[in-house]
Amino acid sequence: TIKDFNSVKKFIRLNITSAGAIQRDVGGAADRHSGIITIGIFVKAGLGSNIARKIADDIYYVYNRQSFNGILCRTSSIDSFPENTDGWYQVNVNTEFYRDQEFVPPVTFA
């Protein structure tokens, strides 16, 4: 956690956004949960965009088409943004993912 962004020259931020869930197949016993993993790389303006791009390239291969702990990642993409009003240059690595979870009906009492 960074309390004062002015005290650092670069940082990364992780966001995991849920995109909901669906029944994986008709009559099946699994639900598919999906979402997007976004890694935001922020570099103070004036340091050059190459630093942010190098970090993004390294992070890209951590998630691109990888699987871990039952999470299956799809192809990652990299998006660059111009310098914002606070003086930060931003690059995002976005990766769609999904995971399947076995459906267990709730216990009912007669």
Q: Enumerate the β-bridge partners of residue 88.
A: 44
Average pLDDT over residues 55-83: 96
Task: Answer yes or no: is pLDDT of 34 > 90.
Answer: yes
Name the pTM for this structure: 0.84
Q: Calculate what percentage of the chain has a pLDDT beyond 90.
A: 72
Average confidence score pLDDT of the chain: 92
Query: Cα separations (Å) of 94 from 1, 19, 66?
Result: 21, 14, 13
21 pLDDT tier (thresholds 50, 70, 90): very high
Query: Cβ(33)–Cβ(18) under 8 Å?
Result: yes
User: What is the rounded average pLDDT of the residues 13-18?
Assistant: 96
Q: What is the mean pLDDT of residues 5-32?
A: 90
Residue 54 is which amino acid? K
Long-range contacts of 72-75, Cβ-Cβ distance < 8 Å, separation of 24 or more:
72/97, 72/98, 72/99, 73/37, 73/97, 74/98
Give the distance from CA 108 to its chain's centroid.
Answer: 38
- Quickly state the pLDDT bin for 49 (edges 50, 70, 90): confident
Query: Is a pLDDT exceeding 70 seen at residue 110?
Result: no
